[in-house]
Structure 1
Amino acid sequence: MRACAANQSPCGSGWLPSHPCSRRRHNVGACHAATAHGGGGCGGGGPSPAASSSSHTITSSSSPLPVSWQEQLSALSRRAAACALAAVVAGTAALAPLAPPPADAVTQEQLLFLEAWRAVDRAFVDKKFNGQNWFKVREDALKKTSLGSRAETHAAIRGLLASLGDPFSRFLDPDQYSALRRSTQGAVTGVGVEVGFKSEAGSGAALTVIAPAPGGPAERAGIRPGDEILAIDGQQTSTISLYAAGNLLQGPEGSQVVLSVKPGAGGAARDVPITRQPIQFNPVDTALCSSSGQIAPGSGDGKLGYIRIATFSKNTADKVRAALLELKEQGVERLVIDVRNNGGGLFPAGVEIGRMLINRGDIVLIADSDGVRDIYSAEGNALVPDTPLVVLANRGTASASEVLAGALKDNKRAAVAGEDTFGKGAIQTLIELSDGSAVAITVAKYQTPAGIDINKIGIKPTIPLSAAQLLEIPLRGEAFCRFAQTDAAPKLF
């Protein structure tokens, strides 16, 4: 037990230089197949950022590690937790050998807290831990923090993650984690509404309903496109991010949330109580427009393809592939890829879709505190490598959707039309804890192929459009085709 306390280096965190994903170009699955370094006691290496999927969507989706990684990390965390706690106990015993700790000193709550501490220790991108002595944080928590109940332990873990100063590293209780896993599979429990920001960035955003899910609880409650959600359970939406709003709208099945809604058609705001229920979202919507209309004036009857990607979920890449093949067979001459209000999702899906559109060049760079670690590149087998392409983006476009937009822009494969994107370039991994809860930890950051750090900066459009213009453009395929024929449609090609 004392050997662990004395040997702090092997118990520390960080990727090993010999990790198979370090500083290498690889396929999406290459690092997923890699074996985690590990050994007895507290030794072993941390996860690769490439094995960690990313991101957070409006439906609160972060990508979990493959099960094998999760099991290994959880097992490592539990072993290290016991070892770390034993180190603290051993140190105390050395000072007072005549008063050994009671046999029940190592409690399940302490072990759970230490699982979370160890997960951060091994995976967090900032090895200075926001200027903290991470081992002292552990020892102070064990000695001074009350961990007498599961609620107290969860509160302590939240405080632990808050101390990192990273808004994307967070704790999920078992219900939240379960909902998050469902969301990456295209299902989520909530009110059934797609939302975005109405006003320009920095002007006091209004959370606006883009589209309620057909037949969902929001639509049944009378909420319509263009309505503004002023508050969610009393929390003013003008003061929170798109991600926070998404989290507030979701919750356990059967739970109730009260929305303060101002009708888009005018009138006073009203409180609308809604009972959450499981919602099935279609991640991809597509249409072939018989004419490009005002989107590409002067092109005559050139066929225009539209693909809306709402989120990067488990089946998004397959659906986009099918859509591209069908549009190609139908003779599409131009393509619009719409990732407005797409908050991200599964990182590998974003890379895979990029490879469907780009034949040569890098897709995304993955960097940690030591610099670029991984590079994902095109593989020369794009489905539509030359079809003229425009990406529609707004400030609700984040994470994996920013990766896709940045790759297409930097490789000069597509123009980006819209406004500056959100700027979420942090990559999270989800590590499940032994009680069914989980911690989402930032393990690395995205950079575009040109080396631009996406985080807090975002992707700048090559064809600027105002927020008002973007709101006029429909988010459904058939409606988009009709809009393309009107004078209100912006010129994109």
Structure 2
Amino acid sequence: MKNNSRWLLPLFAMLFVLLPFAASASASAEPLEDIRQLIRNYYVDDVPESVLQQETAQEITKHLDPYSVYMSAKEYQGFVNGIEQRIIGIGVVLKEDVKGIKVTSVIPKGPAERAGIQPGDVITHVEGRGLVGKSVQTAVSWIGGPESTTVSLVLERAGQTKPITMSITREVITMANVESTMLGGNIGYIRLNSFATESATEVNQAIQSLPSAEGWIVDLRNNGGGYITVAQEMTGFFPKAVGAFRIKEKQGKPISYKAIAQPNKFSAPTHLLINAYSASASEMVAAAVKEQKLATLYGQTSYGKGTMQSMFDFTDGSVLKLTTARFYSPGGQAVDKIGVKPDVITEKEAELEVSHHAQLVGKWQGYKAFPKLSKVATTKKFTVEMNAAMNWNNLDKGAVQLIQLGGAESAVTIEVTDDRTLTVTPKKPLVSGESYVLAIHPRWKGNNDHSMKQGIYVDITVK
């Protein structure tokens, strides 16, 4: 499974955060006075009366922080849909590419899959606008749009000389909130896309589905948050977790919240991935994990949204989302406008590769690193030459592993060249632009019946 920086279409607001409760307020045709009083009572900072006396809810909230907003019933449903991973789009996962924006995967049965879009396709134009040099965020905003509307795309596909033009209708898509797989080398990978209602249940199931994992990578990149209790539950997957976070409301002292222990745990060495779009509840978990040394953080400093929102609902279905508290790490470290800095800073979109490599090397204690092979051909064959004559009669082919970083183990064939040399040939071509590691485990014996003393590995990049 190769999954770099991941974006959905359309990209739901990165700042979806916490719904700790929904208090009812009396309503009228214009709940303006109720809104004013709720802000006086609960908004995290004092607000001047001159602001509160504005004539509409929108005019009032625009003077507050960016996360406080008055929503109609329809807008609120869209907000909840985003947290629960119900989105409107075409169903693709994207990353930046020199030729435009590359499709890294396609959502099964979604509009893009039905239209024939394939992983590896590069979107070069949206509605006639070029994507070369544009960010994924820009592509998301151009490709996204209302349900049942269409978007025109131009794509390039490997092996085809002419561009492909197609028009796709946007639809409601329910995304998997928790994704899991076993990466090469028995490293369990779990991605959480939002802190949604059933997230803890689904993560428990994901851990159970990977019983042979010898290490874990938990991915919170681009996760904008969700429900506050889910942050407590997620922290509870780490065996030694005690605290989850602290909350300080407008009035009163900070209150500490403990991690909620889960039936299944990340019981092997664990890495946590974050980036600049990991926000709110993601930062709660990251701050708790880093402070209590529960896992090693990889990536870039997180967004820095250390505030909590509460929902106040009115009888007409409209909702006031209001910032009512700031949160801190269990030990009291601030997050707002600061973010959480990883233990290991990586380049953007390299987080998974770097983490996977570190997990593998951590397992291969005492192995010798050979010089890196750079820009090899996709059809590359590898020659393994021993420094002594070997007994290949009982050749253990499991002693050779070729692992795509961020992905699965690649199947290989092994042929004996002579009593010192083997040829390792991948059964499928290597993926252009990706990185691999070839490991030789010390399971072979020489003609003198002496076993290999040391394993080796070599890092590989494909041109």
* TM-score, with length taken from structure 1: 0.59
Change over 3 Å in CA distance of 1:406–1:438 after alignment to 2: same
Aligned length: 358
2:12 aligned partner: 59
Aligned match of 2:248: 367
261 and 470 in structure 1: CA distance in 2 versus 1, 3 angstrom threshold = farther
SS in 2 for 1:323: helix
SS at match of 1:420: coil
Structure 2 counterpart SS, 1:486: strand
- Shift of the 123–308 alpha-carbon distance from structure 1 to 2, 3 Å rule, reads same
Q: Structure 2 matches for 1:29-428, cutoff 5 A? A: 58-60=11-13, 62=16, 65=19, 70=22, 72-75=23-26, 78=27, 108=29, 111-127=30-46, 129=47, 132-133=48-49, 136-139=50-53, 141=55, 156-164=56-64, 166-194=65-93, 211-220=105-114, 222=117, 227=122, 252-256=146-150, 258=151, 274-289=168-183, 291-292=184-185, 303-327=186-210, 330-369=211-250, 373-378=254-259, 383-384=264-265, 386-428=267-309
Residues 305, 241 of structure 1: alpha-carbon distance in 2 compared, 3 angstrom cutoff: closer
Q: Higher helix fraction: Structure 1 or Structure 2?
A: 1
Residue 345 (structure 2) aligns with: 464
Higher strand share: 2
Distance 1:440 1:58, change over 3 A: farther
Residue 147 of structure 1 corresponds to: none
Q: Partners of 2:162 and 2:40 in 1: how far apart? A: 50
Distance 2:247 2:72 in 1: 28
One-letter amino acid matched to 2:209: E
Which residue, out of 437, 444, 447, partners 2:328? Answer: 447
The 1:345/1:250 distance shift into structure 2, 3 A limit, reads: farther
CA distance in 1 between partners of 2:212 and 2:128 (Å): 49
Structure with higher Rg: it is: 2
Q: Which runs of 5+ in 2 are unaligned?
A: 1-9, 357-403, 411-433, 439-457
Tell me the secondary structure at the aligned position of residue 356 of structure 1: coil
Q: 1:339 to 1:207 in 2, by over 3 A?
A: farther
Q: Which runs of 5+ in 1 are unaligned?
A: 1-56, 83-107, 142-155, 200-205, 293-302
SS at match of 2:298: strand
User: Residue deviations 1:20-55, cap 9 Å, x none?
Assistant: xxxxxxxxxxxxxxxxxxxxxxxxxxxxxxxxxxxx
Please, which of 408, 416, 435 is the counterpart of residue 481 of structure 1?
A: 408
- Tell me which amino acid in the other structure corresponds to 2:82: S
- 1:63·1:430 contact (CA, 8 Å) conserved in 2? no
> Tell me, what secondary structure is at the counterpart of 1:417?
strand
The amino acid across from 2:172 in the alignment is P
Higher relative contact order (CA 8 A, sep 6+): 1
The CA distance in 2 between the partners of 1:450 and 1:167, in whole Å, is: 26
The 2-side partners of 1:224 and 1:318 are apart by 30
Q: Summarize the Cα distance change of 1:407–1:229 in structure 2 as closer, same or farther, 3 Å threshold.
A: farther
Separation in 2, partners of 1:249, 1:175? 22
Deviations 1:102-154 (A, max 9, x none): xxxxxx2xx23334333433332112x2xx22xx444452xxxxxxxxxxxxx
C-alpha contact 1:367 1:445 (8 A) present in aligned 2: yes
